[in-house]
Amino acid sequence: MAEAVMFPFDFTAYLAKARTRIESALDASLGPERPNQLREAMRYSLLAGGKRLRPILCLAACELTGSDSENAISTAVAIEMIHTMSLIHDDLPSMDNDDLRRGRPTNHKVYGEAIAILAGDALLTRAFEMVALRSPNVPKDRLLKVVGELSLVAGAPGLVGGQVEDLESEGKAVDLDTLEFIHIHKTGALLKASVVCGALIGGADEDLLIALSTYAKGIGLAFQIVDDILDVTASSEVLGKTAGKDLLADKSTYPKLLGLDESRKKAKELIRKSKDVIHPWSDKAAPLLSLADYIINRDR
């Protein structure tokens, strides 16, 4: 269902429609797993709401290539699965020991640690299943590239590496380089992959892939800076997770290292640059341009 994007672009309607599609695809992605408890634990976290920013970016990037974004829906789901599994594992008592996520008790609080670990493992593998076995109509070489991309961002060179560095940095004074390493790996890598994988599914050429990578790197870092700012300025109620947690854990954050004003300025500058780089495709870039603005203007 590739759509001709008309100006003025109604971003609110676009977002609502994309979210509905994604929620429905997420719901359909979990089969009748045995035992029940495993299925329930997987559903509990995958269908817990959230902004669905990553799958939306994936679909929007696929649309930018001129391809039917329906081809990217399984990949979009896969990306949200990887994101969800990383949240489940990061929240565990042996890691960030978090009780609240998206306004509800964390997975291990409801199902216990063993099931939470295993539900995460199952979501991670189901992500690869979505790409390899549940993406009809997409050329196999493109799917294999997506598998490769996801295997990098979900593992040691991505999410896992970032989380380990993050755990090691707790309570230590870390410099801006280490902070950026953590954010690029924990947050930036998957946001970037969301865009890149959508573009790969759509068959983007090398120029477009490079432009979209640059765009995605910029919004990824901006996203994290805004996260750090919100941790200081927003309430737990609005965030749906424990606010002020970074301060309590004595974590290094952008506001701590640069100050609030400088952090806001850095985020704005990153968003401006990200929008610039996809401007040549502006006739189809409206969703990605609006998504960049959305990332910096969000309140949770």
Q: Which residues bind its own copies (CB under 8 A)?
A: 31, 33-35, 37-39, 42, 85, 89, 92, 94-95, 112-115, 117-118, 120-122, 124-129, 131-133, 140-141, 143-145, 147-148, 150-152, 154-157, 159-161, 163-165, 167-168, 181
* CB of residue 298 to its own copies, shortest distance in Å: 28
- 160 vs 258 by CB, closer to its own copies: 160
Cα 239 versus chain centre, distance: 16
- 167 vs 210 by CB, closer to its own copies: 167
- 271 and 288 in contact (C-beta within 8 Å)? no
Q: What 3-state DSSP class applies to 18? A: helix
* CB of residue 20 to its own copies, shortest distance in Å: 26
Tell me which amino acid residue 293 is: D
**Alpha-carbon radius of gyration of the chain:** 18
Q: How many residues does the chain have?
A: 300
* CB of residue 123 to its own copies, shortest distance in Å: 8
- 32 and 52 in contact (C-beta within 8 Å)? no
Structure tokens at 6: 């008309």
Tell me which amino acid residue 134 is: R
- 9 vs 128 by CB, closer to its own copies: 128
CA angle 28, 119, 199 (to 5 degrees): 55
* CB of residue 129 to its own copies, shortest distance in Å: 4
- 109 vs 264 by CB, closer to its own copies: 109
- 11 vs 213 by CB, closer to its own copies: 213
